[in-house]
Structure 1
């Protein structure tokens, strides 16, 4: 499966379940906000010989990350064998499935690289008049490598040797010193999308009681999944048709960082809490376009935890 900006909630679902997923989100946010000047700064740090050696380790580490599709058989076998049940507490199906799946990903490191090169930096490519393959400048290609390498170093995390992680991340970290700070909210939001800022700020400063409330409403929310899925579909279409794909992707990546800053972890992400958060963020990005009923469905668990904004 591929990652794409259109399906940024899916990307976020993987990132919140990875130990350094918030760092990968930071790099992707930098890539989303990059223009010609930023690409020049990033490209200046590119070292093709050093990264070629590091990528041999990346290939090996990437094979050790299980994908969800590969684990579905294990889940089915565990259910059949009663592996998610014990004599004291009885059925523990949801907890068992979360435990099995929280260390897996929907896509992989290659998909992340493709996302950076072809989705996030799609504007750097040009289509020749003769219908041949798309082209871009050497500077854009080098900058994309620097961004993709840093994102992969965080995505694979401690599956990579420390030295390899440093080699992959170092060019980006050096370049970032000469770049403007990342925004705290997506650019281009109007008054109708003010809820995005409120949600991100609230999420980043959760305390223990807040986390307990969110976990409780996430458990309750799963029972009404069909209605929620339909509302997410409507919000996703609104994002696409309104041309807010990049804005929505930035909001989801900022939500990944706020999710982790607020003390939520991989088990929370795997257990359904990310679905709550990503749905609320998507709804607020297109708050001016959704019907009141659809928006209410997506905000319901958030309102249940924290009350009306």
Structure 2
């Protein structure tokens, strides 16, 4: 789905940069649900597509489900979702000249709110990620024994993509959409998951992969945080900023983190772990929110700290010592343990 004409363009979400999507999701009221939909899309194949397609308005046996009304709902939701504020659209109050101390306070408050609530990407970008990347149309592995042949499997995938995209948009744009509209969009996905065999859409890390134990330890630690634990993470973020200021001037820590994250994303790409890393970042979104972190925490550095640790867990065996140390530093400060991923 293309961006609407006349809209300020937003940064596209990609599987390679899933931490950026995570940054937006941890600041949204429906972010946890959207992250779960992305993981379900990443981990789905022909069998799961059939389960999801069965609940599409074109296939469901529910007489109250009208395909034409469902299409209208989907179109309305996407139009409303485009009203979400974007970081690329600066708030005029935040950029207006300040007149006196009170005016400066108002301007700074508006700027802080803009940074806290505005998105890097958009609902349309999330939908493209699900349809074009998470479901991997380039290598669908159609089952030859599908009842309707390969074409039947292709139709299942198309209908499943609709169900997943509607649920993702409903969660992502929860601030912009009326409650009943959100409910109608998400119901097909929720029914498919509720009616599936337990484990079909399981979002737990796979313990059999090399990075499974380290990732599981990190996610469990996040979910079980109490107030003191969250405060340790916040202090680790502040300590990182102080380290950067003392080492090489303002912004040094952020620059080193950005370079290390780039190295880790490239390592995931070259090693064939992009989908695994993206799923891990989405699981971390859920653990971050389950652990009691707030949107303010997400906006002020705690999410970046967690995302770096997650990426280190996935590709720590491929990273140089410097990049691994930078990404794992919050974990080491919080827990006193060795860098995650080694």
TM-score by length of 2: 0.79
Q: Which residue of 2 aligns with 1:41?
A: 51
Q: Which residue of 2 aligns with 1:111?
A: 125
| Whole-angstrom CA distance in 2 between matches of 1:302 and 1:252 | 16
Q: Deviations over 1:169-197 (max 9, x none)?
A: 0000111023343132157621x553211
CA contact under 8 A between 2:91 and 2:110: conserved in structure 1?
no
Instruction: Give the secondary-structure state (helix, strand or coil) at the position aligned to 1:288.
Output: coil
The answer on 1:21 being equivalent to 2:27 is: no
Q: Deviations over 1:111-150 (max 9, x none)?
A: 1111111000124667xxxxxxxx9822111100000101
Q: Which residue of 2 aligns with 1:239?
A: 268
> Which of these two proteins has the greater Rg computed from alpha carbons?
2
Q: Which residue of 2 aligns with 1:102?
A: 116
- Structure 2: gaps of 5 or more residues: 1-10, 58-66, 141-150, 245-252
Q: Which residue of 2 aligns with 1:155?
A: 172
Instruction: Considering fraction of residues, name the structure with more helix.
Output: 1
| Whole-angstrom CA distance in 1 between matches of 2:290 and 2:103 | 31
| Whole-angstrom CA distance in 1 between matches of 2:53 and 2:261 | 38
| Whole-angstrom CA distance in 2 between matches of 1:286 and 1:143 | 31
Instruction: Give the secondary-structure state (helix, strand or coil) at the position aligned to 1:122.
Output: coil
Question: Cα–Cα, structure 1 residues 203 and 82, in superposed 2: closer, same or farther, change >3 Å?
Answer: farther
Structure 1 stretches of 4+ with a deviation exceeding 6 A read 78-84
Question: Cα–Cα, structure 1 residues 80 and 67, in superposed 2: closer, same or farther, change >3 Å?
Answer: farther
Q: CA deviation at 1:85?
A: 5.5
Q: CA deviation at 1:72?
A: 6.6
Aligned match for 1:5, one of 6, 15, 30: 15
* Count of paired positions: 295
User: What are the within-5 Å matches in structure 2 for residues 1-309 of structure 1?
Assistant: 1-47=11-57, 48-71=67-90, 75-77=94-96, 97-123=111-137, 137-179=154-196, 180-181=198-199, 182-186=202-206, 189-190=209-210, 194-222=213-241, 223=244, 224-308=253-337
| Whole-angstrom CA distance in 1 between matches of 2:138 and 2:194 | 23
- Structure 1: gaps of 5 or more residues: 87-91, 127-134
Greater length-normalized contact order (CA 8 Å, ≥ 6 residues apart): 1
| Whole-angstrom CA distance in 2 between matches of 1:56 and 1:100 | 27
Q: Deviations over 1:173-227 (max 9, x none)?
A: 111023343132157621x553211111101111001111111221232341121
| Whole-angstrom CA distance in 2 between matches of 1:185 and 1:44 | 27
Question: Cα–Cα, structure 1 residues 43 and 199, in superposed 2: closer, same or farther, change >3 Å?
Answer: same
CA contact under 8 A between 1:205 and 1:262: conserved in structure 2?
yes
CA contact under 8 A between 1:98 and 1:271: conserved in structure 2?
no
CA contact under 8 A between 2:42 and 2:275: conserved in structure 1?
yes
